[in-house]
Amino acid sequence: MVEELDRQSFHFLALAAGLDIDDPHMERLYAYLKELLPKIRGEEEKSRASSSEKDLHTFIQRYMPKLRRISELDLAGIDPAMVFQPPSGRRDE
């Protein structure tokens, strides 16, 4: 898990994802992610919103006010809820 998304990591990941890192919008996205990612991991107390990021901070708080930490749950031995299809072919062997 990336604890803190620094600018270099952001650029690397954005490029890998296929986003245009030269788009001026990327600055807003970076600020948004610095708020959002700790929040969805239940690590919001680690979040440090600067004054320029305050509107995004407010936006995320308002839209996701009740997030709880998934990491609080005991997930040991739990298969994820995903569709697994067995390989096709003979099953009688």
- Can you give the binding site for another protein, defined by CB under 8 A? 1-2, 5, 10, 13-14, 17-20, 23, 25, 28-29, 32-33, 36-37, 40-42, 59, 62-71, 73, 75, 78-83
Least Cβ distance, residue 52 to another protein (angstroms): 16
Least Cβ distance, residue 49 to another protein (angstroms): 16
Contact 6, 37 (CB under 8 A): no
Gyration radius (Cα) of the chain, Å: 19
Which is nearer to another protein, 28 or 54 (by Cβ)? Answer: 28
